[in-house]
A = this chain, B = another copy of it.
Amino acid sequence: MAVDNGDFVRVNFTGKIKDTDDVFDTTYEEVAQEVGIFEENKTYKPIPIVVGGNHLLPAIEEAIIGLEEGDKKVIEVDAENGFGQRDSSLIQLVPMKEFKKQGMTPYPGMKIQSEGATGKILTVNGGRVKVDFNHELAGRDLVYDVEVTEIIEDETEKIKSMIELHYSNPNVDIDKTEIDIEDGVANIKLDDMSKFDQQSYMDITFARFRIAKDIWDNIDEINKVNFVDSFEKNEDSDDEEEAEE
């Protein structure tokens, strides 16, 4: 069976800058180690996506249509279809005193955060600091080596894959998720450990909304997703108490 639009699949990939061959992202641990971008807290394994779901660059999701499970493909993505062209208006001169106010000493190459955007300092000249707020990959043509490791067919597994994608919690065992689908409703009961997440309830709601949307947009017979937290009276311990009496 070949990959089609709307399919739930798992893919491995390595993204490189075309000109330099520099790897900027990968799902392979050995590649990350080799090129020196390995991160301790990241899990290296195929990531689940919906084809056409905007989980990866649209150009990549289109390019894997027609591949079979196990197929690999080299996908060239030009800057336009990657992270956009460079925009010179995003290079700004910032007075040095703005940095001093915050106790910062700017130097070329330093990364800074400003109103949610990441900037990279290009030059420091007396009272003026030149900061580039373009995406680091803007203007770059890219090459992705992509491998389709799995086409997910089972609906329960499709749902689990979206939980994996949108709600990552190292304490939660995805295999302990209980899912039942009935009359257009998917009822999801996560591993009990998820109840003790220290994130805000609102942040978890946003993750749940993304999970639910990917499910109802891509699984025809589901139009409602319930997340259920169960609290059950422990009859066993009552029995034990009685037995001890």
Contact = CB atoms under 8 A, between A and B. Distances in A.
Interface of A: 194-202, 204-205, 208-209, 212-213, 216, 223-233, 235
A228 B228 contact: yes
A116 B143 CA distance: 57
Given A198-B200, A199-B200, A226-B228, A233 B205 contact: no
B202 A200 contact: no
30 contacts: A194-B201, A195-B201, A196-B201, A196-B202, A196-B205, A197-B201, A198-B201, A198-B202, A199-B200, A199-B201, A200-B200, A200-B201, A201-B201, A201-B204, A205-B229, A208-B231, A212-B231, A223-B232, A223-B233, A224-B231, A224-B233, A225-B230, A225-B231, A225-B232, A226-B228, A226-B229, A226-B230, A226-B231, A227-B228, A227-B231
Copies held by the complex: 2
A232 B223 CA distance: 6
Contacts of A223: 232-233, 235
Given A226-B229, A227-B228, 8 more contacts: A196-B201, A199-B200, A200-B200, A223-B233, A224-B231, A225-B231, A226-B228, A226-B231
